[in-house]
Structure 1
């Protein structure tokens, strides 16, 4: 059993093979006043069950069939299903507590409860205490939590990932040099030195290996030097050697005065020996709790002797799955019986089965359970056989409960200290997140495919409207109206569709980082918006310039920059609407449908395709940013510009030189049937800015609601 290394200033982790291994100072030990004792008592959990009975009201309204109602009553199921049953235990500084069990045994659910990240769908009762106190948002900064899925930015390198985490999470009283030193120590100690400049990678970009990704996730939490570290299946997907190195690292971290709790699936025999304590779960029930190395002895005393040459972890997982049978009990009966034995023993010995605890006797287990265990041992020894697999069979066994609190409920370091709420001040958060946003988008921004698309479409449009703006005739002006509408619509619709998936790609990351208390959500939001502006405006600027000069629009600086600013403003407003739909709707297909319907509605009421809309529906145009943008672009192009009506001749080159066939018109608004007077003061930018700010405010509120971190 490990104990905190309080007497040393630091400790080391040995990496690689024994020969020529490198010893690296990992992290300083957790001082006694920051050490935590994690205890949980009588944890019960229920999840809702979707059944026909739950939907009865809807079915009755839609179909109103009595026969169906009778069938629903016949198959009605409970409204909730219990997935955790009176789970009790503790993990002290210097210990590694493993949560083991077959798939569906509620290991991850229990870990999320211990880390204060209980899902909203889970109804939980019981207490989770750290040094005898309940967890709060501020005190969660002392707790490290590693998810089973590696939620990392694919385009950042290993060093960048840990660097930005360090800048945001480490205390403000640490200098930048100290933070960088912490990053370097973490990288070296986790064996990531060789790949520190390699991107994390993903489906489209090759990056580091799965084992290295897992270690980066662990390092992300180690930067904070947490007093308690919770990990959800950190060895899943790793080979035995890599998994062993990771668990040895966790073991060394525990020796530094940390409480380490991890779920683990099918550990090797070497890996199993690194575990101090074990909580074996079977369908939400406790089947064993105590020292990891005493589990085989526990089950042997109950009459289930482990066959020679079998891995302890494999044997106890078979027991928890109900795949081990005896001559009197089938697999499911064995599982239920062992659960009853564990609950009976832990009811009197909440500290679990350990070397210095009470031995299993008839007095502690009761006459009936003890007699059954002795009978199985005698039968096993006489036949010199082993238990065999058998099909599962149900057996009703009265369930017990563990009502007592865990032993050793004393405090490790007194009251749990919260420390500062944020690791970095607000403006530093904004600056770091802004830098990270540019790095995160390094592959998707200014790509050769986007560049080619904008250039190709811009050149084609420029050729179609080639120098139409240099002939001040009514016919050419009508053509220019189509160009202005196309210029605005192409950028707006493309920006809106692209923005739809902006937050869906980083949603899990924001949830994870907010739960860890890395930054203010507003700092992330403003940094993301600020990074989007130059990136999303660069290629549209090139597109606008190509169209503007090839089409021969007004050749003066004010008109060019006014046209550019107006199109960019409309594009950003469209992007804001796309962001809002993406933040509100989780299903991308539904989001695309909503965006398509809204965009088409705004286009139809903007005044280009349909004019003279009936008054009872024409009011919709005031909700259309395209309506305001289109009118603004026409004002910029046609204000103080005389036009020539050349009648049947249509578009005539230099109409001012043909007074015999072309008549000068002083009012272009009437000639072109514009919705707004071209010489009117351009008030539309104020409305567009208002819509953009309103949309983005709703985006922020939606993100805040969806990513809100609750301690339960």
Structure 2
């Protein structure tokens, strides 16, 4: 795989970027204040600053992951950045990039290759590219290891490999050395350096790099409370700070020195550094970047972060993911109720009637789909704790007025409407009618008198004697499924909107 294909100089520049969010009450909290700078290809650039300085926020804005509430100018190679085009030219590897733990490293790359590469690449070529990336990132020995059993450094290198499949010219990394030991951190930054040397524009955030890592950086941007103290070559950083009155002690780690200055440990005023940095960048007319990504568009919350990352890195659209998950779940949705029904139906001595089995199987399958979809909606719209609470709170009223605990005719008038929308009632009533309705012969009685020997009497006791109600209940389950699927799509779209 040729990773040195970028011959022309690439550059992303930004002028007077500001970003704010809603704070306490009606006040807005400004995270970035008139941030300006530029990053070029062939050079490894890092954004430095203490915690809360705005490093990750700036990276989110530059990569296009955050576009709402952003003011300023962002240009790519001297032209205004077009978000849809830039998404195809860039990738963003987050600090804790979500990967599916049950897949091996090679399987993860192969799935990504099939999603991201077009039909011009056949299966042989895709497998060849996977092998080349594994070799490039030193992952050959872990190619058949499950992701859940890989080390932190190996998972981070694998996340880089996923984006190398499309060979993007702009690469953004959020805290790539987070959670790694010193040796693994150096190895990680060495890989980033090799990507930059191959002609890419590589930008990362680093919290507290060692002197060895700092020496590998070509450019740095220093942030303090959302403002730029310096943006330029690494070898000019110390002189720039000295001109502002901040002298770096001899043999002192320059990264530690910069962070101490940005944390106000070496002085109370950084105004001269801020003004000096701004004077190096030509001001341009700010404009609002509030346009959303034009995509047409987490399963169960475990896949939510995977979906967000892959979609925002332009792997697939929301519609493709939604309908793909819808179809991929069908086999399991058929297998589970079928296995349950084949065991329970005949173990309870029900009649060997094909029609009854099919009707009951249909009800079980619809209820399975409904339950799974409801869980997906809660997972997509809420966090784990809130989702569990909302599901329980919304299901209890439906369960109480399903006709199982209380006869439908005994439900108070002002609560009867709950029984008309209860999906538990639809499932319970249709199952009972399928088992005991449609002229089922008398039940076998082992004692002289059985009160419910006639199935019809049993149905009347439950207020479910109307056999036409079976299909009404089935229609009710189908309606619930359609509404929940629509809610799932809306929840996923809302989650994408919120992520931006």
Pick from 614, 622, 626 the counterpart of residue 412 of structure 2.
614
Aligned match of 2:18: 44
Pick from 528, 539, 543 the counterpart of residue 325 of structure 2.
528
Pick from 104, 114, 121 the counterpart of residue 157 of structure 1.
104
Alignment of 1:437-452 (within 5 A): none
How many residues align structurally?
A: 486
Aligned match of 1:126: 72
1:459-502 per-position Cα deviation (integer Å, ceiling 9, x unaligned): xxxxxxxxxxxxxxxxxxxxxxxxxxxxxxxxxxxxxxxxxx95
Paired with 2:451 and 2:110, the residues of 1 have a C-alpha distance of 70
Paired with 2:244 and 2:412, the residues of 1 have a C-alpha distance of 85
Aligned match of 1:105: 53
Deviation at 1:691, TM superposition (A): 2.1
Aligned match of 2:463: 675
Deviation at 1:518, TM superposition (A): 1.0
Paired with 1:618 and 1:258, the residues of 2 have a C-alpha distance of 65
Aligned match of 2:440: 641
Conserved in 1, the CA contact under 8 Å of 2:430 and 2:469? no
1:114 aligns with 2:62: yes
Structure 1: give runs of 5+ residues left out of the alignment. 1-24, 55-78, 202-206, 325-330, 351-401, 406-420, 427-500, 645-650
Conserved in 2, the CA contact under 8 Å of 1:26 and 1:186? no
Aligned match of 1:208: 150
Paired with 2:320 and 2:278, the residues of 1 have a C-alpha distance of 49
Aligned match of 1:175: 122
Q: Please report the TM-score for the alignment, with normalisation by the length of structure 1.
A: 0.63
Say what the alpha-carbon RMSD is for the aligned residues. Answer: 2.9
Conserved in 2, the CA contact under 8 Å of 1:40 and 1:88? yes
Residues 240, 575 of structure 1: CA spacing in aligned structure 2 closer, same or farther, 3 A cutoff? closer
Name the SS for the 1:689 alignment partner.
helix
Structure 2: give runs of 5+ residues left out of the alignment. 286-293
Deviation at 1:670, TM superposition (A): 7.0
Name the SS for the 1:506 alignment partner.
helix
1:204-246 per-position Cα deviation (integer Å, ceiling 9, x unaligned): xxx1111111111222222211111111111122222222222
Alignment of 1:417-456 (within 5 A): none
Conserved in 1, the CA contact under 8 Å of 2:15 and 2:74? yes
1:29 aligns with 2:29: no
Name the SS for the 1:151 alignment partner.
coil
Deviation at 1:709, TM superposition (A): 8.0
Aligned match of 1:701: 490
1:141 aligns with 2:71: no
Deviation at 1:301, TM superposition (A): 4.3
1:593 aligns with 2:374: no
1:290 aligns with 2:232: yes
Name the SS for the 1:707 alignment partner.
helix
Paired with 2:178 and 2:54, the residues of 1 have a C-alpha distance of 16
Deviation at 1:143, TM superposition (A): 0.7
Conserved in 1, the CA contact under 8 Å of 2:97 and 2:309? no
Residues 92, 676 of structure 1: CA spacing in aligned structure 2 closer, same or farther, 3 A cutoff? same
Aligned match of 1:199: 146
Pick from 359, 362, 374 the counterpart of residue 577 of structure 1.
374
Mark the structure with the bigger radius of gyration. 1
Aligned match of 2:33: 85
Conserved in 1, the CA contact under 8 Å of 2:299 and 2:325? no
Name the SS for the 1:581 alignment partner.
helix
Paired with 1:665 and 1:161, the residues of 2 have a C-alpha distance of 59
Conserved in 2, the CA contact under 8 Å of 1:642 and 1:665? no
Name the SS for the 2:329 alignment partner.
helix
Paired with 1:616 and 1:282, the residues of 2 have a C-alpha distance of 61
Aligned match of 1:603: 399
1:50-101 per-position Cα deviation (integer Å, ceiling 9, x unaligned): 15xx5xxxxxxxxxxxxxxxxxxxxxxxx12333222211112212221111
Aligned match of 1:496: none
Residues 297, 552 of structure 1: CA spacing in aligned structure 2 closer, same or farther, 3 A cutoff? same
1:24-43 per-position Cα deviation (integer Å, ceiling 9, x unaligned): x66242253xx631000011
Conserved in 1, the CA contact under 8 Å of 2:74 and 2:81? yes
Paired with 1:153 and 1:518, the residues of 2 have a C-alpha distance of 15
Aligned match of 1:493: none
Name the SS for the 1:145 alignment partner.
strand
Paired with 1:526 and 1:637, the residues of 2 have a C-alpha distance of 34
Conserved in 2, the CA contact under 8 Å of 1:38 and 1:91? yes
Name the SS for the 2:271 alignment partner.
helix
Deviation at 1:349, TM superposition (A): 3.2
Conserved in 1, the CA contact under 8 Å of 2:452 and 2:458? no
Pick from 479, 482, 490 the counterpart of residue 690 of structure 1.
479
Deviation at 1:703, TM superposition (A): 1.2
Conserved in 1, the CA contact under 8 Å of 2:304 and 2:380? no
1:414-442 per-position Cα deviation (integer Å, ceiling 9, x unaligned): xxxxxxx99xxx9xxxxxxxxxxxxxxxx
Alignment of 1:23-422 (within 5 A): 27-32=3-8, 36-50=10-24, 54=26, 79-118=27-66, 123-131=69-77, 132-201=79-148, 207-324=149-266, 331-332=267-268, 336=269, 339-350=270-281, 403=283
Q: Please report the TM-score for the alignment, with normalisation by the length of structure 2.
A: 0.88
Conserved in 1, the CA contact under 8 Å of 2:73 and 2:80? no
Aligned match of 1:328: none
Paired with 1:98 and 1:671, the residues of 2 have a C-alpha distance of 73
Deviation at 1:690, TM superposition (A): 2.6
